[in-house]
Structure 1
Amino acid sequence: MKQLLYRLFEHNCLDRQEACNVLLRMARGEYNESQIAAFITVFLMRSITIDELAGFRDALLEMRVPVDLAEYDAIDIVGTGGDNKNTFNISTAACFVVAGAGYNVVKHGNYGSTSVSGASNVIEAHGVKFTRDADVMRRSLDACHMAYLHAQFFNPALKAVAPVRKALGVRTFFNMLGPLVNPTLPRRQLLGVYNLKLGRLYDYLYQQSGIDFTIVNSLDGYDEISLTSEFKYFDNCGEGVFSPEDLGFVRAGECDLFGGATVAEAAAIFDRVLAGTATRAQTDAVIANAAFAIHTIDRTLPLSDCIAAARESIVGGKAERALKKFIEINS
């Protein structure tokens, strides 16, 4: 690691195999926390290259605990995190809205490292026990169209670096990797990123992978469709920009999406959204993200129909029923 750090400090980059090897060694416990922190810090000082990101991804996928849920043809809905906005769990709520609308979702998530409540925090707050058991996931998908994979159960490297990430409290390249290493390797993904440069990096990787994808970034820095500003999207067909008004939504303010100071507060907002009792801004943000996920699954549907389906999932109580059934099966 010492020689590697000297190279990186001199502004050299890793090739794909070198990046893969260093993460494999990290997962095997060959580096101490100070060395890991120094390595991570390099990538806070400069942008990650495509080869480095691909190599890190190769390592995580090589070490992953694989799960075969291909028969469900599901989508993952995920944000990179690291936008420093401390929103409530918009992407996770959108998963249950999409599931309530009848589409299969395999959500890959983790505890928050740069926010109060990550996906695993809010899921666990409902009494859910994380599992590696594929049969439990199949029962969950059959009953409510939703399965959850806690990243640390399936990616040992993520568990190895979790204390360092939490202690640093800032976004790192591991935020970028999470969406790339869902152990089920879903064919579809809605991904939120915190800036356009990162969006283009993912766009390049996904175009090579053959999956159906949509990448979204709110231009004021949210890693999801926040409806607080215009937002950019990239997908298999191209790219574009929408304003909230273009899609019939009212523009929100940053304070409207605040996730609270504790996991309990974030979970309460999450529950109110799925119960249909949240504020308009909170509900609309979730509907917008769920709608783009539905559109990723079925490109033939107009966005207006996707928005209507997402809204009906909440208004008709289907999203809340999906959550309750999910908790029942996974607790």
Structure 2
Amino acid sequence: MKDILNRLFEHQYLNREEASRILTQMAEGIYNESQIAAFISVFLMRNISIEEFLGFRDALLNLCKDVSPLQKYNTIDIVGTGGDNKNTFNISTLSSFVVASAGYKVAKHGNYGATSVSGASNVMEQHGVKFTSDLDRLERSLEEANIAYLHAPLFNDALKVVAPIRKSLGVRTFFNMLGPVVNPIRPKRNVLGVFNLKMARLYYYIYQNMDCDYTIVHSLDGYDEISLTDKFKTISKLGEYLYSPEDLGFDFYKPMDLDGGQTAEEASRIFDNVLNNTATLAQKNVVIANSAFAIQTVKPNLRLEDCLAQAKEALESGKTKKTFQKFLELNN
């Protein structure tokens, strides 16, 4: 690691094979926490290259638990990179349940929050969810609730090793970037929120070289999701578009309207308010907006207005709450 760090400190880059090998060795316990923290910190000071990104992704996919039998469900994953330092409530997790309740199969890959109060795994744990890598349980969840939750460290030793280091650093790392593209099911449909346009271009390149349908979303004021606090950009096989919240029939909201609270308990209450249809209009509409673009990723021939209507009906009718309750029955 010493030689690698010296090279990186001299502004050199790793090739794809080197990046893959280093991340594999991390998972094998060859490096100590200080070495891993130093390695991660390099990428806080400079951008990750395409070759490095692909190498890290190769390693994580090679290391992950085999859940390929679940690929037959043709799922979608809805996820943000995190690291936007906005501390929003669990928008992509809620959108996952909205989309599932609208009749689509969802494989949500998530983890504890590294840079926010509550990541997907935090809010799941608050509701008593018992994480599992058991194929039969995951399949039953997909069959009966249309959604399975995959807690990332259970499926990948590398993510388990770096989790406490990421948490102690408390800042955005390249693992935020890798999470969305290392779902062990390898879904063919993905909605990905990114916190800047440079990262959107990186993922656009990655997705072009993958056999999948995708929608990359970015709010221009720095959110890694459709926040409705500013105009937002989407990039997909349908093209590249710039939307205003008004284009979707929504108002502009303020950042404070999306705040996730100061504790996991507060975030969990907001989550429940959305499910119970007692949330603020801003909270509800942000979830509907993100859900609509996920539905359109699955059904690209559907007009956006129809996707918005499906998401709204699923949430307001109580379908989403029922889906979540069924999910809890199967996963508690």
TM-score by length of 2: 0.99
Secondary structure at the aligned position of 2:13 is classed as: coil
Report what 1:50 is aligned to: 50
Q: Does 2:27 correspond to 1:27?
A: yes
Cα deviation, residue 135, structure 1: 0.9
Letter in structure 1 aligned against 2:317: G
Report what 1:16 is aligned to: 16
Report what 2:149 is aligned to: 148
| Structure-2 separation of matches of 1:200 and 1:238 | 13
Cα deviation, residue 179, structure 1: 0.4
Report what 2:247 is aligned to: 246
Q: Does 2:228 correspond to 1:227?
A: yes
Partner deviation per Cα, 1:61-103 (whole Å, 9 max, x = no partner) = 0100021212211100000000000000000000000011011
- Structure 1, 134-143 or 197-206: larger mean CA deviation: 134-143
Secondary structure at the aligned position of 2:226 is classed as: coil
| Structure-1 separation of matches of 2:213 and 2:80 | 16
Report what 1:265 is aligned to: 266
| Structure-2 separation of matches of 1:309 and 1:271 | 20
Report what 1:2 is aligned to: 2
Partner deviation per Cα, 1:202-250 (whole Å, 9 max, x = no partner) = 0000011020000000000000000000001111232111010011111
List gaps (5 residues or longer) in structure 2.
Answer: none
Q: Does 2:97 correspond to 1:106?
A: no
| Structure-2 separation of matches of 1:138 and 1:38 | 39
| Structure-2 separation of matches of 1:159 and 1:32 | 14
Letter in structure 1 aligned against 2:262: A
What does 1:1-331 correspond to in 2, within 5 Å? Answer: 1-68=1-68, 69-331=70-332
Cα deviation, residue 291, structure 1: 0.2
| Structure-1 separation of matches of 2:20 and 2:92 | 29
| Structure-1 separation of matches of 2:204 and 2:292 | 20
Partner deviation per Cα, 1:171-204 (whole Å, 9 max, x = no partner) = 0000000001000000000000011100110000
- Structure 1, 129-138 or 167-176: larger mean CA deviation: 129-138
Q: Once superposed, what is the RMSD of the aligned Cα atoms?
A: 0.6
| Structure-2 separation of matches of 1:106 and 1:141 | 8
Letter in structure 1 aligned against 2:189: R
| Structure-2 separation of matches of 1:73 and 1:165 | 31
Letter in structure 2 aligned against 1:213: Y
Secondary structure at the aligned position of 1:217 is classed as: strand
Secondary structure at the aligned position of 2:192 is classed as: strand
Letter in structure 1 aligned against 2:136: D
| Structure-1 separation of matches of 2:238 and 2:43 | 31
TM-score by length of 1: 0.99
Segments ≥4 residues shifted beyond 4 Å: none
Secondary structure at the aligned position of 2:209 is classed as: helix
Secondary structure at the aligned position of 2:307 is classed as: helix
| Structure-2 separation of matches of 1:238 and 1:22 | 36
| Structure-2 separation of matches of 1:274 and 1:292 | 19
| Structure-1 separation of matches of 2:317 and 2:268 | 21
Secondary structure at the aligned position of 1:233 is classed as: strand
Secondary structure at the aligned position of 1:175 is classed as: helix
Q: How many percent of aligned residue pairs carry the same amino acid?
A: 62
| Structure-2 separation of matches of 1:174 and 1:315 | 35
| Structure-2 separation of matches of 1:88 and 1:237 | 29
- Structure 1, 161-170 or 137-146: larger mean CA deviation: 137-146
Secondary structure at the aligned position of 1:86 is classed as: coil
Cα deviation, residue 144, structure 1: 1.3
| Structure-1 separation of matches of 2:67 and 2:117 | 29
Letter in structure 2 aligned against 1:102: G
